[in-house]
Structure 1
Amino acid sequence: MAIFEYPEIFLFLLPAMILFLVWRTKTQKKTSLPTNWPLVGMLPGILQNSHRIHDYATDILSESGGTFQFKFPGVFNMDMLVTCDPANIHHIFSRNFSNYPKGPEFRKIFEILGDGIFNADFELWELHRRTTLAFLNHTKFYSLLESSVWGKVGTGLLPVLDDLIAKQGANNSHEVDLQDVFQRLTFDNICKLVLDYDPCSLSVDMPYIPSEKAFNDAVEALLYRHVLPESVWKLLKWLELGKEKKLVEAWKAFDDFIYPLIPSTFEGDKRDDHNMLACFRKAYEEKLSNKGLSTSTTTTRDFLRDTALSLMFAGRDTTSTCLTWLFWLIAKNPSTETKILEEIEIEFKKWRLFSVEESRRLIYLHGALCESLRLFPPVALEHKAPIQPDNLPSGDYVKSNAKVIVSFYSTGRMESVWGKDCLEFKPERWISASGGIKHEPSYKFPAFNAGPRTCLGKEMAFAQMKMVAATIIYRYKIELLEGGGYPVVSPRDSIILQAKHGLKVRLSRRN
């Protein structure tokens, strides 16, 4: 990472850089654990590894038994406990859930999400969860999901991929960024579900839609807010510099896109129970009228904007990220592609569109998706702060309001949790002796979060990913373009674990 591309780091880490470089010439460490230097704390080690922050945290946690205390300069008051220990995850997310709300610090970092479900605590969180669950459990929901996903596959995904193949021509030179394709597809789907509007970002002309691309800038800036002092990122925001400038621009792009799509009134007829924003409007206003809700938003329209944006974050980035890493892992392990193809042919004989219920028959593909989620969980980390002091199962003590970072990325890569083959892509580890899906507890497999905040859209996500993945694998051969002039595929330094340079492939039709 070129340091001058990141002024927010350069602004306050120059002394740490100098000190680190001087000491580095004198000694070479044989440990991943960072040195706690006088005055600058562990910032030099973080700086040296800022281009691989998730793997750096994994190396440290692996060496330190799953939990580590990062020390920062005292003036910044931002020491943090980082953990990937399943026992700690179970304690924080389930057993002592009430002591670990999102809290004011989380809301500051994720201010762009306002009163959406990811920022919400207590009564507001209960409102979000109850309303979302009621919508997902509606008798018409799965038919809506099926028509939406298969419709986008037919009118967007297949025409786009066929057009890109045609553009390759005789010299076979045109490359495809599958990550971009997946992000456009999931953006269109979630917009249709939440806003009842299809922006058609996945179409042959591949239009540039600012709000769709704004997600990529936002998630990277949000990661750096975790490791920068609040005073620094707020100054950068005010000056509109670096990643904070991109976050401000993303915020505007979201508002410009969402607000015009929020109706000033909703039809008071039978459609209300099957329109997501109408359901949230009704629940929100009923709760306000009973004076049982405390929020930071001033109008119902603002609340619906926050709700829509949070759901769009969940629907676009998590699903597209899992699909991206799935196809990278399959390309690296071609025998798994053969097994997925065999399973499709056994279960459906001849290719056809399948239902959400029928998607559950694709056991091996389900295992492959779980492996993608284990090794590359879309939400790489979670931020918590206890209300009261707490003793974790690992033996670590945390003060009230202390910053606790839970690394889901590291949990999936711990030999102590997943065995000596923890870094291998093995869909078989998810298949039971009887041939069904093997269940793993959420604190060991936290890709969908854990405890009461477990993702409500888990089943929806699996169904959508199976529809898309099965379609592509059945119809196309994929050649991974990595090395030999193409960038190595690696995770971005962001909250959402996207591929840093996309997923460049070359496609051809399967016979």
Structure 2
Amino acid sequence: MSIVDLLIFTEGGNRTQDYLYNFTLRTQEHRPPANKLIDVFIIGDIALAILLFVAIHYWRLNRNTPITKWPVLGMLPGLLHNVSNIHSYINLTLKQNGGTFIFEGPWLTNMDIVFTGDPMNVQHITSTKFANYGKGNDFREIFEVLGDGIFRSDSEIWKYNRTLLHSIFKQESFHAFIQKTVEEKVCSCLLVFLDNACKEGVQVDLQDVFQRLTFDNICSVVLGFDPRCLSIDLPKITCERAFTQAEDTLFNRHVKPRFLWKLQKWFQVGEEKQFIENNKIVDKMLYSKIKSKREMQGEKNFDLLNTLMNEVGDEKIPIDDKFLRDTSINLLAAGRDTISSGLTWFFWLVATHPLVEAKILEEIKQNLPSRENNWKDLGTKGLGKLIYLHGALCEALRLYPPVPFEHKSALHSDVLPSGHKIKSNAMIVYSLYAVGRVEEIWGKDCLEFKPERWISKKGGIVHVPSYKFIAFNAGPRSCLGKDISFIEMKIVAAAILSNYHIQVVEDHPIIPSVSVVLHMKHGLKVNVKKRSI
């Protein structure tokens, strides 16, 4: 079949039928009578032509619509085609559909998903009808590695986890312990590493540095030990790499048909095999730390694992190793990836907006009580006075929320404020990335990095409801570690900006990664130069 034949064929209608009839007669006249192999090729040509015709026909029907729905395959081809820029693709599709659309997956795959970036829908799901929207079976299957921890559990198990952790997180002594831990790590490792980079004149992947720093910090806070991922030689730490690799698999489980990744898991092939091996590495680390903590139980250490053992033990509530393991892995995931992502995007934005950088430096200088301009002299009160820095961090989190998507599942049928009907057990995904780009909330300049939008006329921080500024989630499931996260980010930001000028390497590509956490695909390559304010 020639190209001309194919083009004629795709014109459709009676011409297509005439062509097929003439094509069949033509091939019958010229083929050897006994050559069955040619018959196979002819049938294959016809089948291919019909398939191409159907594909082009559906493309023509749907080319002016936001997302194409294909026969049998549903909307999956478009999603897979745009998976490399999934966040922008979903954001654009939501805008073209008024903030909410229903993704229809392939037949018999149960992949139909309601996507929304409508703030009123988000408020409805996270607050107004909170009891009707839980994590659901789909989320629990995908994130099975989290066990029965706070991020994967629902109902009574979730309430127990939340109450227990809240009682610890609100303690001033725990806040002081975290601040001291972060400050010591910044001084002993982060600044030493950056000083060496300045001296050697080498480029630095700041994202990798922040991932190592935050992993060390969260391990110290939760488990009471420092794996020392961040040092001058940038060692390969097995447990830290296992965490990083697991994120890719968790995301891919969202876009693969469930039967496919479950089949890979069952036969232990492909990335599912690596995922199982990574889980074993992490579990080995966690259970070894739990065992050593039990042997030393009773010692007054402020790390969260020790505190959990002592506090729960005082209440005479049974606590097993699995509960400690599940709680620990949830907190490690939250405290490592979200903060490192937030810091990475923040420093890229500040480095590319010199006026913002200058205002932050001036604010730090004004709030330093000593003449030596030591960032550590800010203290807790000084950090609280860094209003402009706080606004810049909020702005970075608005534009690039560390967790770009959130899952929910409806317990009972419902109707969203947008008018969309939700069936029981339906999966709903709200895009934090899209909510941060809603013009009705943030204005026509919503894509611009403007810390000033967070500063009130009186010089304080503008309060934005959590269902609009949703980087820390909203409603009863809002992040318990929000204040702690800001403390850590402010310490790191003040320490680096006070001592160094960060310059992004020219032509370095800045692309969001395809993962459950919004990292940069190619890292953040920078040059670091020493300075004093």
AA matched with 1:55: S
Deviation at 1:253, TM superposition (A): 2.1
How many Å apart are 1:443 and its aligned residue?
0.4
Say whether residues 1:319 and 2:339 are aligned partners. yes
Q: Is the 8 A contact 2:297 2:306 kept in 1?
A: no
Q: Distance in 2 between matches of 1:29 and 1:286?
A: 64
- Secondary structure of 2:291's aligned partner: coil
Gap regions ≥5 residues in structure 1 = 1-14, 169-173, 291-298
Q: Confirm whether residue 228 of structure 1 aligns to residue 228 of structure 2.
A: no
CA contact (8 A) 2:375 2:498 kept: no
Indicate the structure (1 or 2) with the bigger Cα radius of gyration: 2
Inter-partner Cα distance in structure 2 for 1:21 and 1:315 = 49
- What code does the residue aligned with 2:300 have? R
Between the aligned partners of 1:104 and 1:165, the Cα distance in structure 2 is: 50
1:225–1:365 Cα change, 3 Å: same
Aligned to 1:379: 403
Taking the aligned partners of 1:478 and 1:268, their CA distance within structure 2 comes to: 44
Counterpart pick for 2:362 among 316, 335, 342: 342
Written as runs of structure 1 = structure 2, the 5 A alignment for 1:296-335 is 300-335=320-355
Shift of 1:203: 1.3
Query: 1:164, 1:176 within 8 Å by CA — same for their partners in 2?
Result: yes
Give, in angstroms, the shift of residue 117 of structure 1.
Answer: 0.9
* Equivalent of residue 158 in structure 2, options 125, 143, 151: 125
The question of 1:271 aligning with 2:300 is answered yes
One-letter code of the match for 1:329? L
Aligned ranges for residues 385-464 of structure 1 at < 5 Å?
385-464=409-488
Aligned residues: 478
Instruction: Show the 5 A alignment for 1:6-405.
Output: 23=56, 27=60, 31=64, 33-168=66-201, 174-263=202-291, 265=294, 267=296, 269=298, 271=300, 274-281=302-309, 300-348=320-368, 350-353=373-376, 354-405=378-429
SS of equivalent to 1:505: strand
**Secondary structure in structure 1 of the residue aligned to 2:300:** helix
Other structure's SS at 1:384 match: strand
Indicate conservation of the 8 Å contact 1:106/1:383, yes or no: yes
1:413-449 deviation per Cα after TM superposition (whole angstroms, max 9, x unaligned): 1223321101000000001110001110000011001
Does the 8 Å CA contact 2:298/2:310 hold for their aligned counterparts? Answer: no
Whole-angstrom CA distance in 1 between matches of 2:346 and 2:52: 41
Q: 1-side partners of 2:114 and 2:168: how far apart?
A: 37
Q: 1:100 to 1:227 in 2, by over 3 A?
A: same
Instruction: Tell me how far apart the structure 1 counterparts of residues 479 and 314 of structure 2 sit (CA, whole Å).
Output: 25
Q: What CA distance in whole angstroms lies between the structure 1 residues aligned with 2:296 and 2:213?
A: 28
AA matched with 1:253 = I
Cα distance between partner residues in 2 of 1:333 and 1:28: 44
Unaligned 5+ residue runs, structure 2? Answer: 1-47
TM-score by structure 2 length?
0.85
Letter in 2 for 1:97: F
For 1:235-262, what per-residue CA distance to the aligned partner results, in whole angstroms no more than 9, with x for missing partners? 1223444432332232122112211111
Instruction: Report the secondary structure of 1:262's partner residue.
Output: helix
Distance 2:53 2:112 in 1: 19
Give, in whole Å, the separation in 1 of the partners of 2:207 and 2:504. Answer: 12
Amino acid at match of 1:382: E
- Cα separation, 2, equivalents of 1:29 and 1:153: 54
Change (3 A) 1:375 1:38: same
- 1:437 to 1:31, Cα distance in 2 relative to 1, 3 A: farther
- TM-score normalised by the chain length of structure 1: 0.89
Decide whether the 8 Å contact of 1:127 with 1:284 is kept in 2: no
Equivalent residue letter for 1:499: M
In structure 1, C-alpha distance between the alignment counterparts of 2:238 and 2:95, rounded to whole Å: 40
- Equivalent residue number for residue 6 of structure 1: none
Query: How far apart are 1:54 and its partner, in Å?
Result: 0.9
Q: SS in structure 2 opposite 1:271?
A: coil
Structure 1 vs Structure 2 CA RMSD? 2.3
Q: Which moved more, 1:394-403 or 1:129-138?
A: 129-138
Matches of 1:58 and 1:142, distance apart in 2 = 36
Distance 1:153 1:32, change over 3 A: farther
- Partners of 1:20 and 1:450 lie apart in 2 by 47
